[in-house]
Structure 1
Amino acid sequence: MAVLIGLLNVTLTAAFALLVLLARDRLGLGSVGYGVLLTCMAVGSLAGALVGDRLIAAVSATWTIRIGLLTEVALHLALAVSSDAYVVGGALALFGVHGALWGIVASSLRQRLTPPELLGRVGSANLFVAAGGNCVGALLGGVLAARFGLTPRTGRGRGGGAGDGVDVAGVRPGHGRPGVRRAAGGRGVGGRGRSGGHRAGGGRPTDRPERPERALS
């Protein structure tokens, strides 16, 4: 159990180390919004602590752990692909419930299986492994983010839209390299955007002058 918790903490803390960047860059949240995300997890933890004994009695300790592991997978998926702050907040709230239930089950199981004279040693060893996983995960998350960058935004979301892939590559539409802007005629890479127009490598030659558009009356 302690080894499992340590490994889970590696992946979890790696993701949480980047949560503030995901909230700012992908979800478009400020400091208050980031605090609200953390509050969602805290509220979930309180709810899990209040109803944990009844939930565990209803579904059994084994299924509590199984459902909890699926909840962690759902959290990682939400952090990886979602651009909706409500989805991420809901996933964090569910993870808070899972964290409270996991603590109840793991502590009860450890105390039931460990001889009384070894409880202190087993508890300290468990804490050492869990804290070690947190340290490794935080470091690993920072290294991976610095090497590969944050996951690209999908869909429109908040502040999303066409050109998000270019944004992740380090070239923001309208603020990219001067050579890219000149080659695109100041309209973004490949000429016009979604509204149509000349396409690079197809359609009418791009060196022909365009007809002036009529002014809207």
Structure 2
Amino acid sequence: MDPTSDRVAWRRFRRLWSATAASNLADGVLQAATPLVALTLTRDPVAITGITAVQYVPWLLMSIPMGTLADRVDRVLLLRIASLTRAVGVGLLAVGLVGDHVHIAMLYGSALLFGLAETLYDNTSSALVPSIVADHQLERANGRLQATYVVANSFVGPPLGGWLFALAIAAPFALGAAGYAVALGLMLLLPAMRRKRAHEGVTASFGSDLKEGVRGFARSPLLIALCVLLSVGNLASSATYSLLSLTVVERLDATAATYGFVLAGGAVGAFLGGVYGDRISGLTRPGTTLLWTTVVSGLATVSFGLAGHPVALSALMALDGFVVMTQSVVSVSLRARLIPPHMLGRVTAVFRTLSTGASAVGALTGGLLAGALGLSWPFFIAGAIVVALGPLLFRWLGNTRISAAMTERKGMPEPRAPEEAA
């Protein structure tokens, strides 16, 4: 390990880290404000959860092309484009709200635009992190990014968004646009990364690159099993979390500001999971960590439907946030080590098409179940499915299989040539 190289790598990572913090703060503000705007227009659970579903549609349709693009184009440039798109889009929505031109179609259109930008941003940033930090820094970097995501996106953002919404309906969207603009400015300080195409295996054809990414995913049983685990988890989370605003306001008869408090509870737990997830996961082997975090998350989700007070719901959110974030630190690092660097964008995009795209199905399913059975039933059903999933998938995600896959991966020859600052 070269201390000088480590310091340079971490200095570059801090620039990405800072930009991500500003962007996620904007995400968090809008996360609370958007459903509150929707509640002023309708109380139909399907219409409200449909906004979440639309935001995840690009993950189903565009994730793989976006990931292929991330393996062919300067990744820093793509991050700048995604930030610019979100800044302009949210700014236009804020202007519309100031003029009192409020229609639910605006929220659906904005959700689709944000989803497209998020698909580009997340696939690109996932591929960029392993390129700028050393392998032994990977868990630390992922943990810091996850913790930042939680603090900005969930802990600070939602309460701030709810407070700003109470002041003026357009205020959280104006702040969100400013946050994305700040992120863009910070990314301009991050040096562009030249792609060493000849050494990283980037072919002349975009289509052949895309197909290679699909084949790379399909050839790894461990990646497929990990993808199934996260897909079901995301489906369950989307089916339940998209109903939290209705649960707080209607079933618990609380205020809109209380909704931000409930989300903040989950953020506290997730922040601790992001900061200490690498240490917690180090106490057990990766497969064991994936198992116990899955089971605990499922039990917490079932309990959401039983909570009778916002404080209890917030505490359960904290528990779920902690175990889900710990699982995320393990799974993201494991995925990065299993995929060859020159294919990281493409294979990760295939992975996320399925895992994140499942959130669109989950949001619609949660709304339909709530409309047919009541607000508590989506929590009961989703939690039970997640609890049952853990032991079932442990057969394919056991420690022995993970160790064998990692040994095989290290023995594979590859022309690794990391990206260089332009």
**TM-score of the pair, normalised by structure 1:** 0.65
Residue by residue, what CA displacement relative to the aligned partner does 1:115-148 show, whole Å, maximum 9, x if unpaired? 2222111111122112211111111111111222
Runs of 4+ in 1 over 4 A off after TM superposition: none
Which stretch shifts more, 3-12 or 38-47? 3-12
Q: Which of residues 229, 232, 237 in structure 2 aligns to 1:4?
A: 229
Residues 8-157 of structure 1: pairs in structure 2 closer than 5 A: 8-151=233-376
1:137-181 deviation per Cα after TM superposition (whole angstroms, max 9, x unaligned) = 1111111112222238xxxxxxxxxxxxxxxxxxxxxxxxxxxxx
Tell whether the 8 Å contact from 1:44 to 1:97 is kept in structure 2 after alignment. yes
One-letter amino acid of the counterpart of residue 328, structure 2: G
Q: Read off the aligned partner of 1:15 and give its amino acid letter.
A: T
Inter-CA distance 116–100: structure 2 relative to 1 (3 Å threshold): same
Paired letter, 2:241: F
The CA distance in 2 between the partners of 1:144 and 1:40, in whole Å, is 25
2-side partners of 1:151 and 1:51: how far apart? 32
Supply the AA of the counterpart residue of 1:130.
Answer: S
* Aligned 8 A contact 1:10 1:136 in 2: yes
1:77-122: per-residue Cα shift (whole Å, max 9, x none)? 1112221322211111111112221221111111222222221111
Equivalent pair of 2:278/2:330 in contact (CA under 8 Å): no
Q: Give the CA deviation at 1:59.
A: 2.6
Cα pair 2:294 2:324 within 8 Å, conserved: no
Contact 2:265–2:317 (CA under 8 A) maintained in structure 1: yes
Q: Distance in 2 between matches of 1:52 and 1:148?
A: 36
Q: Percent same amino acid at aligned positions?
A: 30
Q: Which runs of 5+ in 1 are unaligned?
A: 153-217
Higher-Rg member (1/2) = 1
| In 2, Cα distance between equivalents of 1:60 and 1:103 | 14
Structure 2, unpaired ranges of 5+: 1-225, 378-422
In the alignment, the residues of structure 1 paired with residue 238 and residue 280 of structure 2 have an alpha-carbon distance, to the nearest angstrom, of: 26
Where 1:59 maps in the other structure, the secondary structure is coil
2:252–2:309 CA contact under 8 A, matched in 1: yes
Distance between the aligned counterparts of 1:76 and 1:129, measured in 2? 22
Which has the larger share of helix?
A: 2
